[in-house]
Structure 1
Amino acid sequence: MSSSPRLPVSWMRTLAGAVLLAFSLPVLAAAPDPAAPGGPAQALRAAHQRMSDKLDSSSFGRPVLLDSSETPGGLEGDIYAVIDHPLSAVTAAFKGSTHWCELLTLHINNRRCKTGTAQGRETLTLYVVRRYDKPVEQAFELPFVYRVANATPEHLAVELSAASGPFGTSNYRVTLEAVALDAQKSFVHFSYGYDHNMMVRLATQAYLATFGRDKVGFTVTGKTPDGKPEYIRGPRGLVERNAMRYFLTLDAYLSTDAKDAAERRQRHWFAAVEQYPRQLREVDLDTYLALKREDRQRDAAGR
């Protein structure tokens, strides 16, 4: 009887890095149905009404719902949140691939982003390293097609899609929807999904059983013997950590004026991440800012 092939450590790290962008959250209530009466704006408002009690009692101390799940083919899910920004500000911030590049590169592992066009469609390519301390030359590329699906005074919908990713991942799907709740607040639905093959699944499991065994997500699965929360681990913990990191990039981008220097947005994002040290702490502020400063200087020099 032959044993299964053993993956080299370097493969385990690299293949696990292929799911770096993936955060997926199961539907916390029925997802908005764009074909529902009243259109997508009314569908999203109805979702907010169904979730209002859970949003009010969110464990994050703010109206955010986050969870995770695995599907037979990969990972997918949703984040729902009430944010203190009018819909006009949300639309201005997220309608444009250049803006998305600016906000996505707040994430510590995203080292570069380029916009362009392909076959008449707007695109953005994200360069992601599997660990923050790896050089941008070792980044893998995620080429997204960017599309504004809807932009009205009542509703915004932006879609990013990538047919293929690195190391056997494929069918990346990102959508952001927003609807006004009143003159100052909006309700956002941020969904993400992707597929992966068996090699990626096995490599990720191996990574989480070794190098990533101490990492946890946000879902509370029980209590430790001393009464402290026991948090979810494994692939769901992985995607929950990235889910929160990406939500915080959106929040940081909205919460700082467009005239602000990039470093101010980076400081805002890092301070938000530091609210969850158990799950999200990777480096100190000086290291993070130095990496991002290096990225800005490289891009300014056209390297």
Structure 2
Amino acid sequence: MSSRSLVSTLMAVLAAACCAWTPSAAAQSGATALRASYEKLAPGLATSPLGRPMVLTSAETQRSLKGEVYGVLDRPLAKVSAALDKPAHWCEMMMLHLNNRACRLDAANKTLTLSVVRKYDIPVDKAVELSFRGRLVSATPDYFEARLNSGKGPFGTSNYRIALEGIPLENGKSFVHFSYAYDQSAATAAASRSYLATFGRGKVGFTVVGQQSSGEPELVGGMLGLIERNAMRYFLAVDAYSEAPDAFERRLTLWYSGTQKYPRQLDDLSEAEYLKLKQSDRQRQSAARP
């Protein structure tokens, strides 16, 4: 597989699972920490250049990559929790991403497997399958948290860590934090650099890192740009699914309209193409169920 295919597939990856999908003991420390994050970020949320109360960050070390989004959702935490407190719901939510073409649960092996293609128009039989395990840490009126892990990924990646947590706010809103991270090998890093020097040139994320000579903001590129674009896609998936968990067509429309607020980063295909793709995916999965 080419370095372009490798990195494109890596950036499409996100999955969850159902190894121990039952709440653990009260997670008061998590709620307290997230409340502190909200209070710290509140001024930035109110003036976010992203056009909504949201903060997006990314980080890269020699071994790992991480993307995070903090944001306010216009619905109560109870609705967010009810929408995402079961692994089957995570399958539905993650399928909103245009590169995620199938998702299945395996009760016997206690896994959730996501089929990911490097580009949305590639046939599903060319997808990479990724299985994850996870647990629902807390689903109380004051705090929601789900954590998802996979020890081994494709192309030398490993140690995937995925989390979604939330707390209630006033006026029927909630504050959520979505993050994902994984470790990369030396071979993965080298392939990534090759991709970024060729096919990935010109791709940008959301973080402003400087100013161009024209006066326009210079946006982060490279691996951080790729991570930020996918972090945004998944945050928009959480937003759309928690708003319309029982309305398939509506959540498709919500997700697509959300991406179109950021055309430079996320304008990948037309709305008609996206709707057709996802309707086809749903029909195929329905036909495959026993």
Match of 2:3 in 1: 12
Match of 1:76 in 2: 66
Match of 2:19 in 1: none
Q: Tell me the SS of whatever aligns to 2:11.
A: coil
Q: Tell me the SS of whatever aligns to 2:41.
A: helix
Match of 1:100 in 2: 90
Which sections of structure 1, spanning at least 5 residues, go unmatched? Answer: 1-9, 24-36
Pick which of 12-21 and 147-156 moved more: 12-21
- Aligned match for 2:113, one of 103, 119, 125: 125
TM-score (norm 1): 0.87
Write the distance in 2 (CA, Å) between the matches of 1:20 and 1:245.
11
1:22–1:192 contact (8 Å) kept in structure 2:
no
Match of 1:216 in 2: 204
Write the distance in 1 (CA, Å) between the matches of 2:105 and 2:28.
34
1:184 aligns with 2:175: no
Instruction: Report the Cα offset of residue 240 of structure 1.
Output: 0.6
Match of 1:263 in 2: 249
Which sections of structure 2, spanning at least 5 residues, go unmatched? Answer: 15-26
Compared CA separation, residues 118 and 21, structure 1 to 2 (3 A) = farther
Pick which of 228-237 and 183-192 moved more: 183-192
Match of 1:300 in 2: 286
Instruction: Report the Cα offset of residue 131 of structure 1.
Output: 0.7
Instruction: Report the Cα offset of residue 263 of structure 1.
Output: 2.4
Write the distance in 1 (CA, Å) between the matches of 2:164 and 2:171.
20
Write the distance in 1 (CA, Å) between the matches of 2:210 and 2:30.
37
The correspondence of residues 157-168 of structure 1 with structure 2, limited to 5 A, is 157-168=145-156
Q: Tell me the SS of whatever aligns to 1:214.
A: coil
1:41–1:155 contact (8 Å) kept in structure 2:
yes
Write the distance in 1 (CA, Å) between the matches of 2:4 and 2:28.
47
Write the distance in 2 (CA, Å) between the matches of 1:153 and 1:99.
19
Instruction: Report the Cα offset of residue 267 of structure 1.
Output: 1.5
Provide the alpha-carbon RMSD of the alignment.
Answer: 1.8
Instruction: Report the Cα offset of residue 250 of structure 1.
Output: 0.7
Aligned-pair identity (%): 47
Match of 1:238 in 2: 226
Residue-by-residue CA offset, 1:119-144 (whole Å, 9 max, x unaligned) = 5xx42111100111111111111111
What amino acid is aligned across from residue 142 of structure 2 in structure 1? Answer: E
Residue-by-residue CA offset, 1:20-48 (whole Å, 9 max, x unaligned) = 2469xxxxxxxxxxxxx952212211111
Match of 2:46 in 1: 56
- Aligned match for 1:281, one of 261, 267, 286: 267
TM-score (norm 2): 0.90
Write the distance in 2 (CA, Å) between the matches of 1:215 and 1:203.
16
Compared CA separation, residues 161 and 38, structure 1 to 2 (3 A) = closer
Structure 1 stretches of at least 4 aligned residues deviating more than 6 Å after TM superposition: none
Compared CA separation, residues 199 and 214, structure 1 to 2 (3 A) = same
Which structure would you say has the larger Rg?
1
1:97–1:123 contact (8 Å) kept in structure 2:
no
Match of 1:31 in 2: none
1:22–1:75 contact (8 Å) kept in structure 2:
no
What amino acid is aligned across from residue 270 of structure 1 in structure 2? Answer: Y
- Aligned match for 1:174, one of 162, 165, 174: 162
1:155–1:180 contact (8 Å) kept in structure 2:
yes
